[in-house]
A and B are shown apart, each in its own frame.
Chain A
Amino acid sequence: MIQNPFYLTYGLLLLGLLGVAEYRGWSPLSVSEVKNVPKSVRENPGVYRSHYRGFPRFFGGK
């Protein structure tokens, strides 16, 4: 391993990144963070509107 310091560094960086990603629970999912959601959502869910609402839909099928 010592004979390949660049590869070793590259490999250890990848493994380190993997460890952090697993520990912190990283995910490629696109998530929008919304602050101060009104507490009234619990009683009236319609007062909150999703960022993703109204996006084009896939109608699928062959």
Chain B
Amino acid sequence: MAIVGLKCPNCGAGIELRGFEHTQSVVCIQCLAVLDAKDPNLQVIQQFAERQRVQPLIPLGTRGKLHGDPYEVIGFQERTILVDGMPYSWHEYLLFNPFKGFRYLTQYNGHWNDVKTLRETPPPAGSKSGKPAVSHLGETYLHFQSAEASTTFVMGEFPWQVRVGEGARVVDYIAPPRMLSVETTGSEQTWSMGEYIEGARVWEAFQLRGSPPPAAGTFANQPSPYTGKPGTIWRAFLGLVFVLVALAWIFTLWSREEEVFRQRYTYAPGRPGEASFVTRTFDLGGRTSNVELSIRTDLSNNWAYFNFALINEQTGQALDFAREVSYYFGRDGDGAWNEGSKGDRVLIPSVPAGRYYLRVEPEMNPQTQARSMSYDLQLRRDVPAYSYFLIVALLLVVPPAAVSLRAAGFEKARWAESDHAPASADDSDSDSDDGDD
């Protein structure tokens, strides 16, 4: 691209014009005076009173390739909005290609947008979820934020009469990763469309040294890393639940649930002599699987403790375990109450096939007033453990629920910075993630 060389009438520094006849105003890089590029003598339009410079991350004159076309950075401006009295500033880089025209790169808190002005005006599309919407190329954009923006720093060339302090009303609509913005200055309206672009891609496009500043917070049109994920993971969940239900059905049909022993006993705690006894022998057939032991008592405001040993008559191997049954009830100021249960049910794990008997040793409080306790013991072979199916269903639901919560959290963080922030996020509006293009 050809460069026209001139001198700044304010400080004498060299001025380079890269935008040809498109350049309406140019800002001296040395003294930051705004000059009229259409005037042969570069008349000073505005002198920069404050000497606080803003250093662009992409230096003016840097060339790079975007969308396969070469562009040169010819202008840079900082624009600021006030939200609850707090200034929020973002940077705009003006890019120029003599054949393709202008486009912009905007940057806020490490979030970048590739912006192009639109020739057409996107039509209104009613409102969705209480947010006004516009439509563009078949896509609906929801209103995000409206603000009064002012230019707080300028440098380089611009295809309009740029001035520090220049104000415009900016309204943003989003359909991530895209954003439509309309700027109104007086009676003039300019629509532009931005597309979120990773800082790394900007650095790559302009061959910049180092790495881009890290993106902080959630930006208006930042694409959610969870887009589409909740739907696909919930569909996978449904598929797995279908398999789970099929497994439950298969094991229900397949399990033997065979009663191998049932007997009623009575235990008198005060009776002298050995309390323990053994049952008759019984066969446990089939593969190694569980055995369900059910105890049903007639306890009343009392407890009983059972020491059990399921002994294999042939091998002499015993599976030793204990169960406690207690049942209490009464009435107090809160009304009737009860706790515990008169019965118990337990699955004895992985019992190989064989001939077995049960050694039972009941215990009760020796001071109890109850004369005796009657109880039933029942053993069933190969009983499906439905609690496992419930546990697996709960474990299966954890990842989809987590993905959905995180996706919702991302959207919540996005909209917390908008004019439509949820009520609970009102106080967080002063966070640093605000910005406009």
Residues of B within 8 A of A38 (CB): 316
A11 adjacent to B396 (CB under 8 Å)? yes
Report Cα–Cα, A36/B365, bound state, in Å.
Answer: 31
A57 adjacent to B289 (CB under 8 Å)? no
Residues of B within 8 A of A36 (CB): 316-317
B303 adjacent to A62 (CB under 8 Å)? no
Task: Knowing A14-B395, A15-B244, A45-B274, say if A29 contacts B307 (CB, 8 Å).
Answer: no
Most buried by A among B276, B278, B363: B276
A62 adjacent to B389 (CB under 8 Å)? no
Flag whether B348 is at the interface (Cβ < 8 A): yes
Task: Knowing A1-B235, A4-B236, A50-B309, say if A41 contacts B278 (CB, 8 Å).
Answer: yes
Give the segment of B153-161, B163-171, B349-357, B420-428 that binds chain A: B349-357
How many of chain B's residues touch chain A, expressed as a range? 35 or more
Residues of B within 8 A of A30 (CB): 321
Q: Mark A42-59, 1 if CB is under 8 A from B, else 0.
A: 100110101111010111
How many of chain A's residues touch chain B, expressed as a range? 35 or more
Task: Knowing A42-B357, A59-B365, A62-B337, say if A3 contacts B319 (CB, 8 Å).
Answer: no
Q: Mark A14-48, 1 if CB is under 8 A from B, else 0.
A: 11011101111111011111111111011001101
Residues of B within 8 A of A53 (CB): 307, 322, 361
Report Cα–Cα, A61/B340, bound state, in Å.
Answer: 9
| Residue in A24, A39, A52, A59 whose beta carbon sits within 8 Å of that of B322 in the complex | A52
A18 adjacent to B321 (CB under 8 Å)? no
Most buried by B among A15, A26, A50, A62: A50
Q: Mark B15-46, 1 if CB is under 8 A from A, else 0.
A: 00000000000000000000000000000000
A57 adjacent to B388 (CB under 8 Å)? no
| Residue in B232, B240, B251, B318 whose beta carbon sits within 8 Å of that of A34 in the complex | B318
Report Cα–Cα, A25/B122, bound state, in Å.
Answer: 66
A18 adjacent to B328 (CB under 8 Å)? no
B348 adjacent to A29 (CB under 8 Å)? yes
Flag whether B385 is at the interface (Cβ < 8 A): yes
Q: Mark B216-254, 1 if CB is under 8 A from A, else 0.
A: 000000000000000011011101100110010001000
Smallest CB-CB separation from B386: which chain A residue?
A: A22
Q: Provide a sorted-by-A list of 8 A–B residue pairs whose CB atoms are within 8 angstroms.
A: A12-B240, A15-B247, A38-B316, A45-B359, A45-B361, A46-B276, A57-B363, A60-B340
Report Cα–Cα, A53/B324, bound state, in Å.
Answer: 12
Residues of B within 8 A of A59 (CB): 303, 365
Residues of B within 8 A of A50 (CB): 307-309, 320, 322, 359, 361
| Residue in A27, A41, A48 whose beta carbon sits within 8 Å of that of B348 in the complex | A27
Residues of B within 8 A of A8 (CB): 236, 240
Beyond known contacts A19-B247, A25-B289: 20 more, CB 8 A cutoff: A1-B239, A7-B400, A11-B237, A14-B395, A22-B384, A30-B321, A31-B320, A31-B349, A33-B319, A39-B316, A41-B311, A46-B276, A48-B318, A50-B308, A50-B322, A50-B361, A60-B303, A60-B339, A61-B339, A62-B330
CB distance from A4 to the nearest CB of B (A): 5
B351 adjacent to A25 (CB under 8 Å)? yes
Residues of B within 8 A of A33 (CB): 317-320
CB distance from A48 to the nearest CB of B (A): 6
Residues of B within 8 A of A42 (CB): 278, 313, 357
**3 nearest A-B residue pairs (beta carbon):** A25-B290, A52-B322, A50-B307
| Residue in B237, B277, B316, B388 whose beta carbon sits within 8 Å of that of A35 in the complex | B316
Residues facing A in B309-351 (CB within 8 A) are 309, 311, 313, 316-322, 324, 326, 328, 330, 332, 337, 339-340, 346-351
